[in-house]
Structure 1
Amino acid sequence: MQGLSLNTMVLNNSLFNYLLALLFLLIVYGVIKLFDRFILARMNLLIKKFSTSFAILLRKIIKKRAYPLLYILAIYLAVHQLSVVNRAARFINYILMILTVILTVLALLDLLVYSLKKYWQKRQQSYEQQKLLGATVFLIKTLVWIIAALFILDNLNIEITGLVTGLGIGGVAIAFAAQNILTDLFNYITIFFDKPFDIGDFIITGDYKGSIEHIGIKTTRIRSLSGEEIIISNTDLVNSRINNYKRMQKRRINFSFGLTYNTSLEKLKKVPQLVQEIITSLDKTEFDRAHFAEYASSSLLFQVVYYVTDSDYKLYMDIQEQINFALKEKFNQLGIEFAFPTQTIYLANQSEQILNQEVSTVENSRGEN
């Protein structure tokens, strides 16, 4: 009996080819075991210092996604070292391709869902936002799996042009049927990610103003200053201009007051410095300017500009009230009076004109007589 050699043929393959195929499997198995024992644990400890949840995710992706992909690669290389019937070879390649796509999609979805959830956790989650997270994850998974299925069908040499066309027409029909709902949903997503306002912010949009109480999937609710609830669709909000006063870092205040015309020049010159001292003595204020602006119809008009380094409207009103009280107190001490609308009628001149007219009338009457 002739001895076995590496060139001995078994089922149309030499023993050398079988050994080479087995070698690929053993190498991949050995690499995975070495990585799992000496590298993965240390890498896991390092990543846990920054994020425990990401370390758990990475370990899951490596053990459940990457390791099977390596085994699939090893089987693919092993099969290509052997002479296999064409149909069997194609079947094996198709199975390996499908498994590769599935494992790759699962890994990508793991990363994507993890990123979305971490992003959501950084924000205060309402019940609607939690539902939106679930709906968003479902839509993303559906879209990714549809793309993966089309990719698999295309690689299986199945004609997908008609299928893609049908999906496109169906998608357009669904989009038209649910146009308003989808518009509000996408605008809610825009509000959620762009963050033009948050709950509690005081905003003005068009003719409406108030504090944000609730941001829903379809509408946003605003509590107006007079107390009623204003419900505005998200589409209207996204398409309108919004003044968000809560995000104002500091408030610019411009106010004026008038003094009487009999105020002396010496006292007028003291007023700007007096106003500056009052404003700078208060907390959370920045003085800008104070000037004798103009000779108004019934007053000597002063204009003042300062900043409140806080967006709170009540704080601004408290500061303005303190300034008004201080101005009144200081002006009383200096004998300066605030002006108010007045009209001076010179009765003496009018009486003299009337008297002259009466004298002229009497003289004219005598002359005629």
Structure 2
Amino acid sequence: MQEIGLGTILLNNSIGNYGLALLFLVAVFLIIKIFDKFLLEEMNLFVGRFSRSFSVLLKKMVKKRIYPLLYFLALYLAFRELETSTQIDNFINLTLMILTVIFAVLAALDIITYGLKKYWAKKQRSEEQQKVLTISLFLVKIIVWIIAFLFILDNLDIQIAGLITGLGIGGVAIAFAAQNILTDLFNYFTIFFDKPFDIGDFIITGEYRGTIEHIGVKSTRIRSLSGEQLIISNTDLVNSRINNYKRMKQRRINFSFGLTYDAPLEKLKKVPGIVEEIIRSLDKTEFDRAHFAEYTASSLLFQVVYYVKDSDYKVYMEIQQQINFSLKEKLEELGVSFAFPTQTIHFGGQRQSDSNSESIQNISSELNQNKVNEDKIN
């Protein structure tokens, strides 16, 4: 009976070589366990000082991505020390390459997902837009996995030039067929990231005005002032000029009023001060100027400019109403009147007036005489 020792050959390898390979695997396993028990927690605490969420992500990636990859790498290195057939070597190399790509892609997607979620946590303003995160992650995953798949095929010595060309032509054909849909989809992302408006904002775009109710993948819905719902494509909104009144921090008001020409100069000089006093006495207002601006056809025109420190239109109207009430009260106390369209005709003199009166009398006499003649004829 043959004695079995370290030099005994079994499947082209000695027992000693198998022992060394097994010892290498055990050593790698122990190193990973020691690192996991002592060093990983310390590293996690250190990273957690800067970002708790990133430390959780890092721990997950080490346990679920790096550890399995290290086990496979150790197994690969152990087999490299043994004499195996070409088929087994090729299988091991292929398996390690595919596993490396898969775990690398998973780690990359973990980081991308973390980054997108952190960005969404800072930028997201409505729960409805959470679906953008899902769509974005889905598109990113598709792109990354396609690149990984092509990388694996290329390393398998498979000609992928024709496949890439076919995918390119097919992609162009699909993009051309769904041009309008894709345009609206990309403009949806433009609206989300650029934030020209949010749900609840009151906007004016072209001849349309209303409050944003829903921002969809293809279109945006606006509730108009008259009550109906306007549905406008995202492309039309992105390409148009938009006035967003919700973003307005303060409202500049320019209004005017006219006084009659019979107002004395001394009282006219007091009017700007009265206007300033009224505006400064109100909350959420900032007075800018008040001037006697010009002589118009029927009034002495005053112009007033002030600011309302609130974007709410109702607040502005309440303030303007209070200004109008107070202005009328103060001007009545001052003894001046608001002007309205009037016209006064001044005749040249007494002689012209007498001549006009005489002409009117002659015309009246002629009319009466004609009336008498008509009665006789009848």
* Structure 1 residues 353 and 81: CA distance shift in structure 2, 3 A: farther
Equivalent residue letter for 1:353: Q
Superposition map of 1:1-369 within 5 A:
24-44=24-44, 55-82=55-82, 84-120=84-120, 122-126=124-128, 129=129, 131-346=131-346, 348-349=347-348, 352-353=351-352, 355-356=354-355
Check 1:273–1:81 CA distance in 2 against 1; reply closer, same or farther (3 A cut): farther
SS across alignment from 1:99: helix
**Residue 226 of structure 1: how far off its partner (Å):** 1.5
With over 3 angstroms needed to count, the CA separation of the structure-2 counterparts of 1:21 and 1:294, relative to structure 1, is farther
Would the alpha carbon gap of residues 298 and 24 (structure 1) be closer, same or farther in structure 2, given more than 3 Å must change? farther
Task: Report the Cα offset of residue 158 of structure 1.
Answer: 1.3
The answer to whether the 8 A contact 2:154-2:160 is kept is: yes
What secondary structure, in the 3-state scheme, does the structure 1 residue paired with 2:126 have?
Answer: coil
Partner SS for 2:180:
helix
- The CA deviation at 1:202 is 0.4
Query: Is the 2:258–2:302 contact (alpha carbons within 8 Å) kept by the matching residues of 1?
Result: yes
1:226 is paired with a residue whose SS is coil
Q: Distance in 2 between matches of 1:137 and 1:227?
A: 37
Alpha-carbon shift at residue 279 of structure 1 (Å): 1.0
Amino acid at match of 1:95: T
The code of the aligned residue for 2:352 comes to Q
Paired residue type of 1:220? T
Q: Gaps spanning 5+ residues in structure 2: where?
A: 360-378
TM-score (norm 2): 0.83
Mapped to 2, the partners of 1:351 and 1:232 lie a distance apart of 71
Is the contact between residue 209 and residue 224 of structure 2 (CA under 8 Å) also seen in structure 1?
Answer: yes
Q: Is the 8 A contact 2:292 2:303 kept in 1?
A: yes
Structure 2: how far apart are the matches of 1:350 and 1:342? 22
Give 1:200's aligned amino acid. G
Question: Which residue identity does 2:101 align to in structure 1?
Answer: V
RMSD in angstroms over aligned alpha carbons? Answer: 3.2
Give the CA deviation at 1:167: 0.7
Tell me, which stretches of 5 or more residues in structure 1 are unaligned?
361-369
Bigger mean CA offset, 57-66 vs 43-52:
43-52
If the length of structure 1 is used for normalisation, what is the TM-score? 0.84
Instruction: Give the match's secondary structure for 2:342.
Output: coil
Cα gap change, 1:289/1:17 in structure 2, threshold over 3 Å: closer, same or farther? farther
- Aligned pair count? 356
Give the 3 Å change call, closer, same or farther, for CA 359–324 of structure 1 in structure 2.
closer
Q: How far did 1:193 drift?
A: 2.3
Distance 2:308 2:220 in 1: 30
Measure how far apart 1:134 and its partner are.
3.5
Name the SS for the 1:297 alignment partner: coil
User: SS at the partner of 2:246?
Assistant: coil
Deviation (angstroms), 1:156: 1.6
1:269 counterpart letter in structure 2: K
Identity %: 68
Taking a change above 3 Å as real, the CA distance of residues 271 and 20 of structure 1, as seen in their structure-2 partners, is: farther
**SS at 1:167 equivalent:** helix
Whole-angstrom distance in 2 between the partners of 1:240 and 1:146: 36
- Give the Cα separation in 2 of the matches to 1:10 and 1:309: 90
Structure 2 counterpart of 1:302, which letter? Answer: F
Point out the more displaced range, 16-25 or 194-203: 16-25
Q: Is the 8 A contact 2:126 2:199 kept in 1?
A: no
2:227 partner letter? G
Cα displacement (A) at 1:80: 4.4
Q: Name the CA distance, whole Å, in 1 between partners of 2:106 and 2:126.
A: 28
State the one-letter code of the partner of 1:213. E
C-alpha displacement of 1:250: 0.7
